[in-house]
Amino acid sequence: MQNGLKNIVILLLISSTFLSAENKFVSSSALVGMEMDYREYGRNDEILDSEKSNYVEMSGLDIGLGYLLLKEETYSKINFQFLYLRGESKYKGSYIGSSAGYGSVVSHTVNDLIDVELSYKKAHFMGDSLELNYGIGFGYRYWNRALSTTQSEVYKWFSLRPMIGLTYDISKNLFMKTSFEYQYGINPVTLAVEEEYEFKLGSANISQVAISLNYSVKSKFNIFLEYTAEVQEIEASNTVAGFYEPDSTAKNKYIKIGISSKY
């Protein structure tokens, strides 16, 4: 997986450099930290286990490449976004079949999280300092949750992603962006890797709100700081060989520090 990730990142960087000869491309790159708060629930809504991490323990990169379709009073944007995070979270739970209950086992989980999105947005200017944008995206989410050397779970699904946002010019060089995105999961599954079981999840949806401050160093070069909060909700799966994937929620927060450029 690490070699594959390196190849994707290299390809994106090469593509960004090659396309910079045009005048309508936008690229972005950011360092990302993620605070995770994940919980699984039993049939009676009791907590079965949880995963928690801070912004340093889960970190990675967010890389984007977009194309602008310019008009006099509006513009559209086609954008590709690639997010990769890796790190450890603190696991708190119990052994399967144990009567000891939640908290009887404490350990660390190694996580790999990938989120890919291709989107189309359209913008409208509402006066001199306010911009409304809205659109639709199609994405893919992959989470490899390695609880130990002998137990790994992989969550993955495609998603349809409607989105809406505002951009407000605070001053000549400073502007603020806010956005809301809803991710409707399509065919979500969980794989128990070692046992080779596949569980079909009832649903896997994410609601996401983001706010960012952007400072223009030059007309085509920005520095930005972004805060994102999301709520992920997964419904229980079918039963396979006497096991099932339970209901779960995740309240995750991201901080991104990066740069964007127009070419």
* pLDDT tens digits for range 6-33: 555 555 454 444 444 345 899 999 999 9
pLDDT computed for residue 4 by the predictor: 52
- Segment 189-216 mean pLDDT: 96
Question: Above 50 in pLDDT, residue 44?
Answer: yes
Q: Global pTM?
A: 0.87
Element (DSSP H or E) covering residue 54:
none
142: CATH: 2.40.128.100
CA distances from 144 to 87, 97, 192 (A): 11, 23, 10
The answer to whether 250 and 52 are in contact (CB under 8 A) is: no
Residue 211 and residue 96: Cα distance in Å, rounded?
Answer: 40
* pLDDT tens digits for range 71-87: 767 889 999 999 999 99
Closest CA relative to residue 238, chosen from 205, 195, 203, 186: 203
pLDDT computed for residue 22 by the predictor: 42
Instruction: Show the domain range for 178.
Output: 2-262
pLDDT computed for residue 133 by the predictor: 95
In the 8-state DSSP scheme, what is residue 98?
Answer: -
Phi-psi group of 87: left, alpha or beta (phi > 0 → left; psi -120 to 50 → alpha; rest → beta): left
Residue 139 and residue 116: Cα distance in Å, rounded?
Answer: 5
Residue 65 and residue 26: Cα distance in Å, rounded?
Answer: 6
Q: What are phi and psi of 18, to 5 degrees?
A: -65, -40
pLDDT computed for residue 6 by the predictor: 54
> pLDDT grade, residue 196 (50/70/90)?
very high
- Per the structure, how many domains does the chain have? 1
- Segment 206-233 mean pLDDT: 95
pLDDT computed for residue 99 by the predictor: 76
Question: Above 90 in pLDDT, residue 109?
Answer: yes
Length in residues, the chain = 263
* pLDDT tens digits for range 150-183: 899 999 999 999 999 999 999 989 999 999 999 9
